[in-house]
A and B are shown apart, each in its own frame.
Chain A
């Protein structure tokens, strides 16, 4: 096992070891590399000022670049990758067309968010050959700006000539770098320092073995977005970590007939892309969640692992009766997500997969996220509905009804009493009102900084009504 972390920054090779690999990239860039273009504003992945581009080797040897929040990106997650910072966009003294457009079209005022904005727009052009205003709005939803009001930024973005853009893979076409990254990207890693250690084994078997032979609790880490925020906010930096990045089978999404299986290291972005192709209703909902930067790092299963009451991804998984696959020394077992949320897992186990059945074609799905800001915000209340109807004696009768809520109880939950009630009835304003009453009985909302208990109660009832209104409009 390799005992160092190797990566490249703007084409320069870097090798770090020991405690240093647990530093956040943004701090490391600013304090140890004098690359102060990258700014830290919120230190919790909530503003995008620290955005950088991360080049990840693909099977073809080319690097695929995506934007990340460097303030919550520990160095150990850079192994085998290429970091391009704002300083790395200028080539031979020439600004990139993106930088030039922002500078000349009023896309920058105080300049503090600007490097992050430059990176986000760079990422949009990596993804879309001819981005539209909608692409820019979506791609910039992880970046805040307090000066421009976004007018100048959008104007600048729309003024860029897409034909002038050079992809980062051609801009940073360094054969030596690419060949080294291609070689080392599967290396298992073991790093130790005084208070911290990290293993990144290259197979599940090895991972389980390490976990079993270690007496201390080992924290499983994938995108490290929660970990980064925690460390930045003062959670003691110590413990043993085990990374999933090097285990090929955990990086896959597989479709077996109607069954969809998502590996533990699959990012929310990968999953969103998959849904856009296969389950558009969920894809659309995924757009409301987090930010592009976060979704590139965070995993679907991480959302389950942290199991917050408002875990947005949990919402549809709970709705669709997802199961988690737990793997331990004694083998694997499937557990319903609900049971998992109630009971958790054994110490030797980890979540290796989540599986769920693709909703039936006739099923009508709706997902709602009520938040203060429309993007890059946690839900106050979220809700998911699934409705299937059949014709019985000339009447449309509910053959299947499922409903899940977030933000109204200790965890995201299904409302079994409502589902039972709806079964076999016909959809009407009266039944919906009854259902909403039952929902209120089943939920235990409380107040927090995002909203009062009363508002949550109103939302529980009203999201039923909204669902009904939309079903009526669609009819």
Chain B
């Protein structure tokens, strides 16, 4: 065994750069494999009057087609069970599947789909929140979080300002489109390889759709080419389609969505319209904040109520406000069902109060930073959130102070003011915004993880967990944690495919918590094996043959040490009496000591009462702040992303490269949502920007000219995996720093106009504001 520690990098990086990493559609075709696609509604809302499939007979390659009546169960949904796999009586969004088609030749599917005629009686569709408010069609009852007495506080406040924040949705644009392959096994079972963040959901939904037992279905996920929340619930329908075809035709069945179809028919980040009212003193102290969040949920419930909950739980962001009232509703519309997307509602909640703070600063003619600092969470009693959770381990003041210095904030503010006075062609803006992001699923049930650790005789280890590797590096994080338990090189630990036959009841890989949940389970399992090995080591060092029932004897194992691939008794005078890890394993195996272990972990202390709006929904908070500077072309509204500096608390970072990778990636995704990415719908609910040519995610020219990330040292706090903190989502919210910098720039020309800036702040939106003046 090698004793030198190799450089720790992301597992599979080598296979990624050589093109050898296998994604779902990279799996070799089997000779009898068939291709699956679906006919979708081209109408946003209507009654199905007829489905004419007669022309499919003209395609010899088409071997089967299915409609709703072919399904044993046709309603699904993790929170509210309301979404049909195949539309039956009504269609409720454009792109909704109606007929599944299977063909031997994939090139025939496009024409075959067109040959199916859907007769739909069109009904008036509801597209926007404003339209939906008229009919007041809601998912679940409105929710409220309240603390203090806002009514009394508004009466006392010197100043009261109110406004509205509106934002558009966002397309995930994971690079690997939705895909799944289902293989029939022994006639009555299925093995499904899917590009999903949620293997157990695929397993369960497939089983119930077919009316078979969950034990007849295995879902395997090697890796996925990006998810960002878009594959938390929304891969399952496509996996079900492949499964249905495989189960009925007894052939392997593959579905891979075209990019355009994927964008068209899958759900997005939720558009929100939030009305707020804020009361404050002349010094900028916030006395009361009232916000009414309204989310566009789309055609089915999906995760919308949970998204709204997180938006509400982040509505005060980093500010201690004594009197708060947060209300929220999710409206039913005729868009594709909106779903999870990195940061899961938090950005929409945070953006609203950040907008309100910019307005306070503008009104009081103060630096917005002053308002932010004055209201920042602090020492008791300024440490209780609106939902009653104590904000402990608050490192925000330290982060902000450090960032101010690092980014040279005060000097640059002066420079920018001078620039704006002198430039006839451009405007510049600067922002500093903090973030506090709660880690844990707000649905407490999901905060569980599990892992299977198998130690092989040569000292290499295979680990399976419920987490899905999608580029975030969760496999590396877990491998590092397990290697550390045995003090062996991380290269000795291999993370295996996520498979529901090894780990069941997997929570989706989401909520920035998967390394915590599954990594902690893996550590538990590894530690149990290590304890057994310690017994073996005592026996081996004392010269026992290892034939007796080793684990049933009392032994002092506390001095057995695992270090650098060796095991020894650190109290012994015979220090050099080391056993190599692999010799010990061989000894353990011969002594009939189990070298595999499955363990289970749940986050302690979580609860949340949705009715009362109080609880302890989060295990801890990841914190950070960003300073961003933008330059706007006064004539075109085009933005130059000049500079961003981020300081982020990740607890005790276990892998700085991965942490920084998550921060940069999430930030740029946030920047995209705030500036470039625009979902344009026709008045009939058709998504017009449903191609790569029309929906623009950031390119390398949008990556700021100056960009730095610093991890804020915050050790010794018991929190996530090995005292690190979840980092997948929080930095997304910092993308808003760019949007606020744009507001800041625009306020130079039109303070009133800047208030109305919508999100995304496209060139067109910026010119609209500039022209208000």
| Contact surface of A with B, Cβ cutoff 8 Å | 30-31, 34-39, 41-44, 46-47, 49, 85-87, 89-90, 95, 99-100, 102-115, 118, 136-137, 140-141, 143-154, 233-234, 368, 370, 372-378, 380, 449-452, 455, 458-459, 462-463, 465-466, 469-470, 472-473
Contacts and interface: CB of A to CB of B under 8 A. Distances in A.
Given A148-B664, A380-B763, A111 B635 contact: no
Contact of A44 (B425, B676, B692, B764): B692
B699 A103 contact: no
B223 interface: yes
B24 to A, nearest CB: 11
A103 B17 contact: yes
A373 B702 contact: yes
Given A87-B19, A102-B16, A112-B225, 12 more contacts: A41-B259, A46-B692, A47-B692, A108-B471, A109-B665, A112-B174, A147-B175, A149-B667, A370-B636, A370-B638, A378-B693, A466-B635
Nearest to B655: A106
B734 to A, nearest CB: 11
B696 A373 contact: yes
Contacts of B226: 109-110, 112, 146-147
Q: Which of B18, B676, B678, B768 gathers most chain A CB within 10 Å?
A: B18
7 A-B pairs closest in CB distance: A37-B19, A110-B471, A149-B668, A111-B16, A112-B225, A109-B471, A151-B664
Nearest to B470: A110
Given A370-B636, A466-B636, A143 B18 contact: no
A113 B14 CA distance: 14
A262 to B, nearest CB: 26
Nearest to A49: B175
B19 A374 contact: no
A450 to B, nearest CB: 7
B29 A31 contact: yes
B20 interface: yes
A112 B176 contact: yes
A87 B18 contact: yes
The number of chain B residues touching the other chain, given as a range, is 35 or more
Contacts of A36: 19, 22-23, 25-26
A289 to B, nearest CB: 13
Contact of A146 (B29, B473, B669, B688): B669
Nearest to B22: A36
The majority secondary structure among interface residues of chain B is loop
B84 interface: no
B771 interface: yes
B175 A113 contact: yes
B490 to A, nearest CB: 14
Contacts of B664: 148-152
B175 A104 contact: no
B133 interface: no
A451 to B, nearest CB: 5
A461 to B, nearest CB: 9
B16 A114 contact: yes
A112 B709 contact: no
B22 A234 contact: no
A246 B455 CA distance: 62
B63 interface: no
Contact of A108 (B10, B633, B678): B10
B450 to A, nearest CB: 24
**Of B688, B692, B697, B700, which is in contact with the most chain A CB atoms at under 10 Å from its CB?**
B700
A54 to B, nearest CB: 17
B176 A110 contact: yes
Interface in B250-278: 258-260
A470 B424 CA distance: 10
B669 A110 contact: no
Nearest to B225: A112
Nearest to A447: B680
B224 A110 contact: yes
A115 B19 CA distance: 6
B13 interface: yes
B692 A465 contact: no
A372 B762 contact: yes
A41 B175 contact: yes
A376 B425 contact: no
Contacts of A108: 10, 13, 16-17, 471
Nearest to B173: A146
Nearest to B13: A103
Contact of B701 (A373, A378, A451, A469): A373
Contacts of A147: 175, 226, 471, 661, 665
A140 B762 contact: no
A441 B284 CA distance: 49
B18 A86 contact: yes
Given A37-B18, A112-B176, A462-B636, A151 B660 contact: yes
24 contacts: A39-B23, A41-B175, A42-B693, A43-B259, A44-B693, A86-B18, A87-B19, A102-B17, A104-B7, A105-B657, A111-B223, A112-B226, A144-B692, A152-B664, A154-B700, A374-B701, A374-B702, A455-B764, A455-B768, A458-B767, A462-B635, A466-B425, A466-B633, A469-B425
A150 B18 contact: no
A451 B764 contact: yes
Interface string B695-707: 0111111110001
